């Protein structure tokens, strides 16, 4: 396939660059294109620059995408590569999530300094995380543990851990594997007890709606089962809260034509939990996610959200 230079927009962290490089490698293999048919364009985002407070207080998930999406809309880049779990549920007008690469392991990884397993941490240990979901899940399992805000890229968090700032931290196994850092993991947390964020482990590509040149380019690397699973998970997220304010988990699995979904919402302290399971056809992924979200919202009641937002 012959094409003009394709400019791939990404954040500048080591993980974001690894994801952009993986996307470029898949496109090269799919079309027989050379490395220099692509340019990786690093774009600084507000989410990267704000390190002193939770994203929920600073503006939500869109802080990791705003500047990249502005470059995409203006024509400065041709595609944007993101971590799917960082994406707001509604892209800006004119843009769409047009491809999802085959998903990596969805599990969370615990990296411990004081103890190799989360359950074995001493009383009142300190664990660092910037994720409200991870904070709430840890508090659910170990109410004695002190959770502290822990921002920064993967390398920064691992350095702080080594320096003794915290006794342990949690990161996505997928990201550690993409950085060849999975050797630092001391425990992989089971999905049943520690379900992932919607979209965790999947790389997505964002493009301009109707850009046929780009759509034809990326179509061969889009993974159908991952796309179906994330359609369900993101629909579940959209019915609840598409920002960083709600501790929630959602995971859809595809087996042939069948889909099974598990969702959870928690209060920030982990004391209140609502879970839901749904099954159906993979072709109905979005509808299953929307219904699961509506059902769990009705079950929890408005007071569940109003009591702590």
86 classed as catalytic = yes
Per-residue pLDDT of the chain (309 residues; tens, 9 = 90+): 445 899 999 999 999 999 999 999 999 999 999 999 999 999 987 666 555 555 555 445 567 788 999 999 999 999 999 999 989 889 999 999 999 999 999 999 999 999 999 999 999 999 999 899 999 999 999 999 999 998 788 999 999 999 999 999 999 999 999 999 999 999 999 999 999 999 999 999 999 999 999 999 999 999 999 999 999 999 999 998 644 578 999 999 999 999 999 999 999 999 999 999 999 999 999 999 999 999 999 999 888 877 655
The pair of structure tokens assigned to 299 is 């079950």
Helix axes 14-31, 154-162, angle to 10 degrees: 140
Q: Which two tokens stand for residue 214?
A: 């780009």
Q: For the chain, list the domains and their CATH numbers.
A: 6-101+202-222 (3.40.190.10), 108-188 (3.40.190.10), 240-306 (3.30.160.40)
Q: How many CA atoms lie within 13 A of 146 on its CB side?
A: 9
Contact 40, 23 (CB under 8 A): no
Question: Residues 48, 52, 78, 86: which is the catalytic one?
Answer: 86
pLDDT for position 243: 46
| Residues in a beta bridge with 202 | none
* 309/243 Cα distance (integer angstroms): 12
Q: Is the pTM of this model over 0.85?
A: yes
d(CA 70, CA 75): 9
Contacts of 139 (CB under 8 A, 6+ apart): 145, 147, 268, 269, 270, 271
Calpha distance 165→168 (Å, rounded): 9
């Amino acid at each position: 396939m012959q094409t003009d230079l394709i400019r791939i927009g990404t954040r500048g962290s080591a993980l974001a660059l690894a994801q952009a490089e993986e996307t470029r490698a898949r496109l090269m293999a799919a079309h027989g294109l050379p490395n220099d048919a692509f340019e990786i364009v690093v774009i600084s985002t507000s989410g990267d620059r704000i390190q002193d407070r939770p994203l929920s207080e600073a503006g939500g998930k869109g802080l990791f995408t705003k500047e990249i999406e502005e470059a995409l809309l203006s024509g400065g880049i041709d595609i944007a590569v993101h971590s799917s779990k960082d994406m707001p549920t509604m892209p800006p007008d004119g843009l769409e999530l047009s491809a999802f690469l085959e998903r990596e392991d969805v599990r969370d990884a615990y990296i411990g300094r004081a103890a190799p397993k989360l359950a074995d941490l001493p009383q009142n240990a300190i664990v660092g995380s910037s994720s409200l979901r991870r904070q709430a899940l840890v508090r659910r399992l170990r109410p004695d543990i002190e959770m502290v805000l822990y921002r920064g890229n993967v390398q920064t968090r691992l350095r702080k851990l080594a320096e003794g700032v915290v006794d342990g931290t949690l990161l996505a196994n997928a990201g550690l594997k993409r950085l060849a850092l999975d050797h630092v993991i001391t425990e992989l947390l089971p999905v049943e007890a520690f379900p992932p964020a919607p979209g965790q482990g999947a790389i997505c590509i964002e493009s301009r709606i109707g850009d046929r040149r780009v759509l034809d380019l990326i179509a061969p690397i889009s993974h159908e089962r991952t796309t179906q699973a994330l359609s369900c998970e993101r629909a579940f997220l959209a019915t609840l809260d598409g920002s960083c304010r709600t501790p929630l988990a959602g995971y859809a699995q595809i087996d042939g034509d069948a889909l099974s979904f598990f969702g959870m919402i928690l209060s920030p302290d982990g004391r209140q939990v609502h879970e839901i399971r749904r099954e159906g056809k993979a072709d109905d992924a979005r509808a299953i996610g929307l219904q699961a979200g509506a059902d769990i919202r009705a079950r929890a009641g408005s007071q569940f959200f109003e009591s702590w937002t």
